[in-house]
Amino acid sequence: KNEVEQSPQNLTAQEGEFITINCSYSVGISALHWLQQHPGGGIVSLFMLSSGKKKHGRLIATINIQEKHSSLHITASHPRDSAVYICAVSGSRLTFGEGTQLTVNP
């Protein structure tokens, strides 16, 4: 079993839908990261959080330390949100989930 599990692996949505991507982890962490990777490869950091909730525009990330679970929500999804979303947890180094491929159709 991987230390970081994401679900779903693939997600297709219609423009405007509310999207949730989940991340569960099995190790103690100091922080959890959500990353976005567009076609072509570049990765950008969306959030780093260690408790509670963070919001940036239409993106919301939550974490429940007791449950060892985090969610990334996208409100009013748009085709430009199509990307791979990666969860990573930090202990002594980052450990990554396999990613969730999101496709938002117009």
Partner 1 sequence: DVKVTQSSRYLVKRTGEKVFLECVQDMDHENMFWYRQDPGLGLRLIYFSYDVKMKEKGDIPEGYSVSREKKERFSLILESASTNQTSMYLCASSPLAGGRQTQYFGPGTRLLVL
DSSP string, the chain: --SEEEE-SEEEEETT--EEEEEEE-S--SEEEEEEE-TTS-EEEEEEESSEEEEETTEEEEEETTTTEEEEEESS--GGG-EEEEEEEESSSEEE---EEEEEE-
Residue of 1, 28, 39, 42 that binds partner 1 (CB under 8 A): 42
Quick check: 51 binds partner 1 (CB under 8 A)? no
Quick check: 11 binds partner 1 (CB under 8 A)? no
Encoded one letter per residue, x for contact with partner 1 by CB under 8 A and - for no contact, window 13-32 reads ----------------xxx-
Quick check: 90 binds partner 1 (CB under 8 A)? yes
Residue of 43, 49, 60, 65 that binds partner 1 (CB under 8 A): 43
Contact residues for partner 1, defined by CB under 8 A: 4, 29-31, 33, 35, 40-45, 48, 86, 88-94, 96-99
